[in-house]
Copies of this chain bind each other. A is one copy, B any other.
Amino acid sequence: MLRVSKLTDYGTLVMTQMASSPGRLFSVAELAEMLRLNAPTVSKVLKALGRHNLVTSVRGTRGGYALARPAKTISVAQIVDALEEQPFGLTECSALSGSCELESGCRIRANWQRINTAVRGVLSDISLADMMQPVPVAVRPDSVATRVAPETFAGKLKTQ
């Protein structure tokens, strides 16, 4: 449904929370309480983020997690990649195998790949630090005309 999984959603929350105090370690229990999420779920998110080297972990009594690098250098795309099971791409192929060879199929597929690349570009150009910023102006969500807010995202959202 063209939606990111809840795990990814939680991931942005957890990462942002950790970004607010770059130095310290956060335990699963702490983060779960701060964000009002269940601990096992937060744990699952953090384990996946750890496997992708977006967070570091320390075991033991005073252990916990912290961002592996500054928030400015972590993109939303990287969080998505860490938490979505499937590889990035808006379509599976572009319909059933065997259909593309006929006529229009393959062009469609190639064009979907270009759309994928553009969408990924959007996600790659937004950093965790950006996600913490307040939104500068009211954006009407469905208006294409207003879809780029003048401030923070402006430069980042140019795809060329």
Residues of A whose CB lies within 8 Å of any CB of B are 1-6, 8-10, 12-13, 16-17, 20, 34-37, 76, 80, 84-86, 88-96, 98-99, 102-105, 107-108, 110-126, 130-135, 139, 141-142, 144, 146-149, 153-154, 157-160
Q: How far is the CA of A117 from the CA of B143 in the complex (A)?
A: 8
A110 and B134 contacting across the interface, CB-CB below 8 Å: yes
Shortest CB distance A84–B (Å): 5
User: Which among A88, A94, A114, A144 has the highest number of chain B CB atoms within 10 Å?
Assistant: A114
B121 and A144 contacting across the interface, CB-CB below 8 Å: yes
A35 and B3 contacting across the interface, CB-CB below 8 Å: no
Q: How far is the CA of A36 from the CA of B1 in the complex (A)?
A: 24
A4 to chain B: which residues have CB within 8 Å? 2, 90-91
Q: How far is the CA of A98 from the CA of B16 in the complex (A)?
A: 17
- Return the contact of A120 from the options B126, B133, B144 (Cβ within 8 A): B144
Q: Could you write out 19 A-B pairs with CB less than 8 Å apart?
A: A1-B5, A2-B2, A3-B91, A6-B95, A9-B93, A13-B95, A13-B108, A17-B104, A20-B104, A35-B95, A35-B99, A36-B98, A76-B115, A104-B132, A107-B131, A113-B135, A113-B141, A119-B119, A120-B147
A107 to chain B: which residues have CB within 8 Å? 16, 131-135
